[in-house]
Amino acid sequence: MRASATVAALGRAAWAGVDPEGFFRRHASDTKPFPLRFPGLGEVLFFSTADGARDILTAPGAQCRAPLPNPIEPVVGQNSLILLSGEAHRRARSVLTPPFRGELMRCYADVIAEVATDEVATLRPGEHLMVGQTAQRITLDVVIRLVFGVTDRARRSEYSRVTTQLLRSGSAVLMLVPWLRRDIAGRGPWARLVAFRAELDRLLSEEIEERRASGDHGSDVLGLILAATDEEGNMLGDDVLRDQLRTLLAAGHETSSTSLAWALFHIHRDEKVRLRVIDELTAAASPAEIATLPYLGAVIQETLRMHPTVPIVLRRLTAPLTVDGVVCSAGDVVGIALPALHFNPMVWNEPEAFMPERFLDTKPSPFQYAPFGGGYRRCIGAAFAHNELAVAIGTIMKTLDLRVRARECGRPPRAVPRGIATKPSREIALEVIARR
């Protein structure tokens, strides 16, 4: 009996690893938590109810911390905001948050539109826009330009090459199974990841040193971070700064590219949705106006409901906490299964359907809908990501008339782990009908 239970537990973990959306959606109707064991982390007790999400997301920082080890640590580093807890997390967040304030988002819209326009400039009728590849190039170039202010094309290409190699080297197996992280005489997957990370750190260090030497930090995100201090007047140390920049470069790009790909897929899979987006775009005279369009915003929200890029939110308790009536002990790891929460039939009408208008009619609570996490650990780039997606989608659709291939109209791709986010399991191709 014990052996069969172990096999079943391993089977569940494997299923969650290769098909997280499919696995967790199966628990959308669960009213009780369910356990799942992860390599290196141990057992996580997952909740899929709004009450469970509320108790976890509103737990004070003194009662929980980021669970370690974390599979993304090899890429982002141990000083990443994602992995820090307690006072270290609070100090780093106070320095990193200001560049992503809402009023600065409008300044970024023109750059996002320029990147998207350049990316689709050569496409002609009869050709195909490869959605996943296009989304990756757009979001990576946006981060390189806006975070680092890099305008030189050769320099941007170098950043893009190294970042792409680093993220590709962080395979799901290598990230999830810590004992595979071994350097075998300078060879193997782990050695490649370490080498690419060192190469990216070299570029980051050069960028930081050039800014400091010039005395002009600049007005981009890096410049604002270099000039910022915490409440005690302390700047980020170089090691911490590199880890935070690597997090912005890798995490911001990976998650946004996934959401951009899914959004373009769903828009062009449903003619009513596509026509409504196109109609709304006619009223937008600038990239900044595109970012404020309500229906396009609802499309993005619905995309994130169906496909949260990071499907789980985890906390390790440092003190007892009652979650949805369940008493959990210090040391326990509790989690929110976002695909289950976002497909809960008690909250969402027809959860399997792509219905952007649901976000125009009502506003879900932050405990029913949490694609960016919540509480004091909510993603600092949430507003930036929403604006980036809106401007990129709007720019592409104002430039090209696209249609989905007939074979893409059937069952959607699965969401599979790739690096630090989940992505469509297959490339999505949209045919170019005309240029506008």
Please give the radius of gyration of the chain, using alpha carbons only, rounded to the nearest integer.
Answer: 21
The pLDDT-based confidence of 166 (bands split at 50, 70, 90) is: confident
Q: Under 8 Å CB-to-CB from 204, ≥6 apart: which residues?
A: 241, 242, 245, 246
Per-residue pLDDT tens over the stretch 31-89: 999 999 987 789 999 999 999 999 999 999 999 999 988 878 888 999 999 999 999 99
What is the CB-side half-sphere exposure of residue 414 using CA atoms within 13 A? 15
Q: Is 324 helix (H, G, I), strand (E, B) or coil?
A: coil
Domain boundaries, the chain: 74-307+344-435
- As a whole number, mean pLDDT of residues 341-362 equals 96
Per-residue pLDDT tens over the stretch 298-340: 999 999 999 999 999 999 999 999 999 999 999 999 999 999 9
Residue 10: the pLDDT is 66
Specify the pairing of strand 326-328 against strand 321-323. Answer: antiparallel
Q: pTM of the entire structure?
A: 0.92
Is it the case that residue 9 has pLDDT exceeding 80?
Answer: no
Residue 221: the pLDDT is 87
Q: Under 8 Å CB-to-CB from 411, ≥6 apart: which residues?
A: none
Per-residue pLDDT tens over the stretch 179-212: 455 566 556 677 888 899 999 999 999 988 988 8
Residues 86 and 74: their CA atoms lie apart, in Å, by 21
Per-residue pLDDT tens over the stretch 108-151: 899 999 999 999 999 999 999 999 999 999 999 999 998 888 88
Q: How far is CA 158 from CA 154, 164, 209, in A?
A: 6, 10, 18
Report whether CATH 3.40.720.10 matches the domain 74-307+344-435: no
Is it the case that residue 259 has pLDDT exceeding 90?
Answer: yes
* Greater model confidence, 436 or 280: 280
Q: How far is CA 415 from CA 13, 272, 354, in A?
A: 16, 24, 16
